[in-house]
């Protein structure tokens, strides 16, 4: 298995508090929000988020071309910044990177962002580029699994993985049903990058132990995209917290058992938060052996649900604590799919 050498994160320049979001929704709707809906949105566990554009942009009609232009400009800026910072933290030059994995489900470009980074950032012309579309909120865990496999290939490689999402581009000012308003109050924009290496000489870095993935049948309507007139339209079910208790929990139990681990053997997990109720469901699963997931709660509070990059924001916080136990990575995404991983602390191998 490979080593996790570094993580870096980046967010757009525009921030918005949750109270400001509620005011914008009321303005766009042309009437005060129903009391029950305002309560649901206000209890999301989010204080602020970062968005690709100023709020006025989201209250105006926009085309596929408008959204694609924002994704190209802002997305590229964030990907470049996160990549540069991750390489600097790893003390590696772009020329020693063998492959770039790009995870994104909120936009796409051809040539892809990693292909365009080759010349712009000085990567070698033979650097392999792997753009991956469709993982959604499970993207970072599934992307790390792919990066780990690539890092182990050819006798050991250096891999840069980037997770980029501009979820705000899916906001639709013309649709104000409950689902779309909840999505507008929950999802956010951000980017994270990680350097993973299968080469020797990284004994002071944490090491991936194992990964697993499961896709449940008859669950495609729980999360995903539909193609709308002006962009991607969100598909989002409300019973994900129930799914955590009923379906995710036994899958996670079996994964830990296969690795010879109990929940009490783990450090604080790095979880994709989803939303406030999903965090509560995850905390209930880990209790009483693990007393809460404060890093997950903190990232949700300060950044909202950024889809795929979110787990890396959480993992970055946890690694700063120099934890001496394995870290479990969890995420749920379209499929409906769960991704799991175990990261052993530095020096454990």
pLDDT of residue 1: 86
- pLDDT tens readout for residues 144-157: 999 999 999 999 99
pTM of structure: 0.93
Q: How far apart are CA 215 and CA 36, in angstroms?
A: 33
3-state secondary structure the chain: CCEEEEEEEECCCEEEEHHHHHHHHHHHHCCCCCHHHHHHHHCCCCCEEEECCCHHHHHCCCCHHHHHHHHHHHHHHHHHHHHHHHHHHHCCCHHHCCEEEEECCCCCCCCCHHHHHHHHHCCCCCCEEEEECCCHHHHHHHHHHHHHHHHHHHHCCEEEEEEEEEHHHHCCCCCCCHHHHHHHHHECEEEEEEEEECCCCCCCCCEEEEEEEEECCCCHHHEEEEECCCCEEEEECCCHHHHHHHHHHHHHHHHHHHCCCCHHHCCCCEECCCCHHHHHHHHHHHCCCCCCCHHHHHHHHHHCECCCCHHHHHHHHHHHCCCCCCEEEEEEECCCEEEEEEEECCCCC
Q: Where in the chain is the domain with CATH 3.40.47.10?
A: 3-197, 207-344
Q: How far is CA 293 from CA 73, 131, 213, 278, in A?
A: 34, 31, 22, 12
Classified by CATH at the fold level, domain 3-197 comes out as: Peroxisomal Thiolase; Chain A, domain 1 (3.40.47)
The confidence score (pLDDT) of residue 270 equals: 97
Residue-level pLDDT at 99: 98
> Burial of 13 by CB count in 10 Å (0-12 exposed, 13-18 middle, 19+ buried)?
exposed
Cα(177)–Cα(162) distance, rounded to whole angstroms? 33
CA 299 to chain centre: 11
Q: Give one word for 131, left, alpha or beta, with left for phi > 0 and alpha for psi -120 to 50.
A: beta
pLDDT in tens, 197-211: 999 877 789 999 999
pLDDT on residue 230: 63
CATH assignment of 207-344, among 3.40.50.980, 3.30.300.180, 3.40.47.10, 3.40.50.280: 3.40.47.10
Nearest-5° angle of CA 341, CA 10, CA 79?
A: 85
Taking only the tens of pLDDT, the chain with its 349 residues reads: 899 999 999 999 999 998 888 777 777 777 777 776 667 666 778 999 999 999 888 878 778 888 899 999 999 999 999 999 999 999 999 999 999 999 999 998 999 999 999 999 999 999 999 999 989 999 999 999 999 999 999 999 999 999 999 998 887 766 666 667 777 778 899 999 999 999 987 778 999 999 999 999 887 776 776 676 666 666 666 678 888 888 999 999 999 999 999 999 999 999 999 888 889 999 999 999 999 999 999 999 999 999 999 999 999 999 999 889 999 999 998 888 999 999 999 866 5
Can you name the residues that pair with 247 across neighbouring β-strands? none
């Amino acid at each position: 298995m490979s080593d996790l050498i570094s993580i870096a994160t980046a967010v757009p320049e525009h921030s918005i508090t949750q109270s400001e979001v509620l005011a914008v929704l009321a303005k766009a709707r042309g009437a005060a929000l129903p009391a029950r809906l305002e309560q649901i949105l206000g209890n999301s566990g989010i204080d602020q988020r970062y968005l690709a554009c100023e709020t006025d942009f989201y209250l105006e009609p926009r085309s596929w071309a408008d959204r694609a232009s924002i994704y190209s400009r802002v997305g590229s800026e964030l990907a470049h910044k996160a990549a540069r910072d991750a390489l600097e933290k790893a003390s590696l030059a772009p020329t020693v990177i063998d492959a770039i994995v790009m995870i994104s489900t909120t936009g796409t470009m051809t040539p892809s962002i990693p292909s365009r980074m080759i010349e712009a950032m000085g990567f070698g012309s033979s650097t392999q580029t792997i753009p991956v579309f469709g993982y959604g909120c499970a993207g970072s865990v599934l992307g790390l699994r792919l990066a780990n496999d690539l890092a182990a290939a050819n006798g050991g490689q250096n891999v840069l993985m980037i997770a980029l999402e501009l979820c705000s581009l899916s906001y639709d000012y013309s649709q104000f049903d409950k689902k779309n308003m909840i999505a507008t109050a929950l999802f956010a924009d951000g980017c994270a990058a990680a350097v993973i290496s299968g080469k020797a000489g990284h004994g002071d870095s944490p090491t991936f132990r194992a990964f697993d993935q499961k896709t449940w049948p008859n669950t495609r309507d729980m999360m995903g995209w539909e193609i709308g007139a002006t962009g991607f339209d969100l598909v989002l079910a409300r019973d994900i917290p129930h799914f955590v208790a009923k379906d995710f929990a036994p899958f996670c139990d079996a994964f830990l058992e296969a690795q010879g681990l109990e929940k009490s053997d783990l450090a604080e997990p790095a979880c994709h938060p989803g939303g406030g109720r999903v965090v509560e469901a995850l905390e209930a699963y880990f209790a009483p052996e693990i007393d809460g997931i404060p890093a997950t709660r903190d990232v949700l509070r300060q950044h909202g649900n950024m889809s795929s990059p979110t787990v890396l924001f959480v993992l970055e916080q946890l690694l700063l604590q120099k934890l001496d136990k394995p870290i479990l990575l969890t995420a749920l995404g379209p499929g409906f799919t769960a991704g799991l991983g175990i990261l052993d602390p530095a020096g454990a191998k």
